[in-house]
Amino acid sequence: MGTTVLIPARLASSRLPEKPLADLGGVPMVVRVAQRVGQALPADTRVVVACDSQRIVTACEAFGVRALLTRSDHATGSDRLAEACEVMALPDDEIVVNVQGDEPLIDTRLVAAVAALLKQYPRASMGTAAHAIDQGADFYDPNVVKVVCDAAGMAMYFSRAPIAWWRDRPADAPAALPQPAPLRHIGIYSYRAGFLRSFPSLAQAPMEVSEALEQLRALWHGHKIAVYVSAIIPGPGVDTPQDLERVRALFAKGFN
């Protein structure tokens, strides 16, 4: 059972055009992500950028990072990764870790933990991560995805709504948090390659459409998602020009 890290990268971005190629201390962002991820896993782990542009391929290869050109019309990152699995002819039991190409500050311990999940939980088709919410505003924010797990550490449901709902919340503390603390989902995934290949052909789940959360499709079709609960709050991704400037400042100070 080998491990491959796939980093989806798309040149077009409405908020930050050509984001994968954004310069961070003389190195393109997607290359920074690949280099950082390479620090987290054993030397025999493959780290591959799956992208939609020859310019990204060329930029990666200039720094010794392997890149794979995929179709430009994929609707989602998981569709792109499924194509990469086919092109690379990954065996069904290969563990594929999906790390987003705009996460140059990602904690390498989190990558390693999510990569290890599917070896620990043979019933699971997917793995992901979460951390405890400590701010009431995050619990009620629909942009913060929450997850509820069962006793075995498997996801029961993901939602933009505050779950599990605190029925007896004090009326005089509307922003208070229930105990135990609710969990915020972290958008990093591991998959078995055979499952990932089949995922785009699965029918969308009704609640997936309502919530705009693709992982609900796996649950709706009866697949298990193991959840690693991290004590580490991950660093911010790069979504806007303001995010990019903050991250550039960190690299200018020697972040590595």
**For 173-231, how does the pLDDT look when each residue is reduced to its tens digit (9 = 90+)?**
767 888 889 999 999 999 999 999 999 999 999 999 999 999 999 999 999 999 999 99
Predicted pLDDT of residue 126? 97
Which DSSP string corresponds to the chain?
--EEEEEEE-S--SSSTTGGG-EETTEEHHHHHHHHHHTTS-TT-EEEEEES-HHHHHHHHHTT-EEEE--S--SSHHHHHHHHHHHHT--TT-EEEE--TT-TT--HHHHHHHHHHHHH-TTEEEEEEEEE---HHHHH-TTS-EEEE-TTSBEEEEESS-SS--TT--TT-TT---SSPPEEEEEEEEEEHHHHHHGGGSPPPHHHHHHT-THHHHHHTT-EEEEEEESSPPPP---SHHHHHHHHHHHHTT--
* Mean pLDDT confidence for 8-12: 88
The region of weakest confidence among 37-46, 55-64, 171-180, 205-214 is 171-180
Q: Which CATH class is domain 1-106+239-256?
A: alpha beta
* Mean pLDDT confidence for 149-169: 94
Going from N- to C-terminal start, the domains of the chain cover 1-106+239-256
Predicted pLDDT of residue 76? 83
**For 114-126, how does the pLDDT look when each residue is reduced to its tens digit (9 = 90+)?**
999 999 999 999 9
pTM for the full predicted model = 0.91
* Mean pLDDT confidence for 17-43: 91
Would the pLDDT of 233 be above 80?
yes
